[in-house]
């Protein structure tokens, strides 16, 4: 197993699994934690047992599942105290509205709430609930109270829910919880790739979509989550690089330890990129909107009996081409991304020539591929030397491999 995957080696995670359909994600979370070297002691609530079985949890964790506060065998040694203090971090995923409420008010009427009250360790919660429950004033008060008590949060994210509604309240993906865990424990500050292959190098990365206003409440955007760009930033930092991440609007957290600049529009992204050149490497992973609305409304555009508004478009600046043709300030290695729905390699080869960059990372973002917003990616590396295709991998593994490629290309002289 690679060093980057052992980012939680020896860490002890106490995982409380609450009730809700998102509980199925806890199984993947356990797998990912153990891949990274962490040990997991699972606690399954009564509600959680309605969605996942103790057997499946125990099998993945490689440890017995704790369910009952009044287990005589464990309570003879004050088991709930030992459980709450032996961990490096307590993670609640999913954290239901009920669990949030009980933790915020100091209740201790089952094993999960007792552990949260008895612990002297950090607590990280990944909320999951219906959007109306998340936005309810009572939940808002409970979250504010927990935050003031020092509880950390991962999410929630916006998205479609099991109930059919769309909005905030969806539990973030296991990989996002992993990142929050690493940040909470403090492992993100370590250089984890052997030999720090990018030590002393500066890398500028763009990530996520841009939002181009139609009016104050509407905009044009691409369907980008920013996961791949953020993963590259994190991997590059772990390889020793000084990383500047320029991110469009995303719902995922900033990578801990990475200088992150938030922008909205393509023009703002270009200005931020210019401000942080020169650099050794530029990676244009952002899904920049190709067009902007010239006649954007200063006020919300209202419906009209005469039909929809007539929008006038103009092209946005080509950030990748600008960097690749930047003369003396051009990075030694300029990497672009090509998100296509057809003729992926052919379009990427054309883009490589037109944009004058050194490498294109191309992928198929057709709806059936699940790349946009998903946690996995299948990419083709297109350069003057030819095409190298990778099988479907977690985006963090794609990022780790790309960083190795970047270091190798720099060693060979970039272009």
Residue 32 CB partners (closer than 8 Å, separation 6+): 174, 175, 178
Q: Which residue has the tokens 């990075």?
A: 331
What's the rounded Cα separation, in Å, for the pair 299 and 288?
Answer: 24
The backbone region for 160, taken as left when phi is positive above 0, alpha when psi lies in -120 to 50, beta otherwise, is beta
Which run of H or E residues covers position 148?
Answer: helix 137-148
The angle formed by the CA atoms of residues 329, 331 and 332, to the nearest 5 degrees, is 125
* H helical segments located in 291-394: 319-324, 344-355
Residue 137 CB partners (closer than 8 Å, separation 6+): none
Task: Check 140, 163, 275, 384 and give the catalytic one.
Answer: 163
What's the rounded Cα separation, in Å, for the pair 324 and 357?
Answer: 5
Which run of H or E residues covers position 382?
Answer: strand 379-383
140 carries an active-site annotation: no
Residue 400 CB partners (closer than 8 Å, separation 6+): 2, 4, 193, 235
3-class state of residue 215 by DSSP = strand
Q: Which two tokens stand for residue 192?
A: 């984890």
What's the rounded Cα separation, in Å, for the pair 147 and 161?
Answer: 25
Residue 226 CB partners (closer than 8 Å, separation 6+): 207, 208, 209, 247, 248, 250, 252, 286
Rounded-to-5 percentages of helix, strand, coil across the chain? 35, 25, 40
List active site positions. Answer: 163
């Amino acid at each position: 197993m690679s060093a980057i995957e052992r980012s939680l080696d020896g860490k002890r995670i106490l995982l409380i699994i609450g009730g809700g359909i998102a509980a199925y994600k806890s199984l993947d979370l356990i797998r990912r934690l153990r891949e990274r070297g962490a040990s997991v002691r699972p606690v399954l609530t009564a509600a959680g047992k309605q969605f996942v079985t103790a057997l499946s949890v125990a099998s993945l964790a490689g440890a017995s599942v704790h369910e009952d506060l009044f287990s005589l065998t464990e309570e003879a040694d004050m088991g709930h105290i030992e459980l709450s203090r032996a961990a490096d971090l307590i993670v609640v995923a999913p954290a239901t509205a009920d669990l949030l409420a009980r933790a915020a008010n100091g209740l201790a009427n089952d094993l999960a709430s007792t552990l949260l009250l008895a612990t002297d360790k950090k607590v990280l919660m990944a909320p999951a609930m219906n959007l109306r429950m998340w936005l309810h004033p009572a939940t808002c008060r409970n979250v504010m109270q927990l935050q003031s008590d020092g509880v950390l949060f991962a999410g929630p994210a916006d998205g479609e829910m099991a109930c059919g509604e769309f909005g905030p309240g969806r539990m973030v993906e296991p990989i996002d919880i992993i990142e929050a865990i690493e940040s909470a424990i403090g492992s993100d500050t370590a250089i984890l790739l052997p030999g720090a292959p990018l030590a002393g190098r500066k890398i500028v990365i763009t990530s996520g979509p841009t939002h181009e206003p139609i009016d104050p409440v509407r905009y044009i955007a691409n369907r980008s989550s920013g996961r791949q760009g953020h993963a590259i930033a994190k991997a590059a930092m772990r390889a020793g690089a000084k990383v500047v991440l320029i991110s469009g609007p995303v719902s995922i957290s900033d990578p801990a330890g990475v200088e992150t600049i938030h922008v909205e529009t393509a023009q703002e992204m270009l200005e931020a990129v210019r401000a942080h050149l020169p650099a050794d490497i530029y990676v244009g992973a952002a899904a920049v909107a190709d067009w902007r609305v010239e006649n954007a409304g200063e006020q919300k555009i209202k419906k009209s009996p005469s039909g929809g508004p007539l929008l006038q478009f103009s092209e946005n600046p080509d950030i990748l081409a600008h960097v690749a043709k930047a003369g003396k300030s051009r990075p030694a290695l300029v990497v672009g991304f090509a998100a296509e729905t057809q003729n992926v390699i052919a379009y990427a080869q054309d883009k490589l020539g037109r944009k004058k960059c050194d490498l294109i990372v191309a992928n198929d973002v057709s709806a059936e591929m699940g790349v946009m917003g998903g946690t996995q990616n299948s990419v083709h590396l297109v350069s003057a030397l030819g095409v190298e295709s990778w099988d479907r991998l977690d985006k963090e593994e794609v990022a780790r491999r790309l960083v190795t490629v970047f270091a190798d290309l720099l060693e060979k002289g970039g272009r």
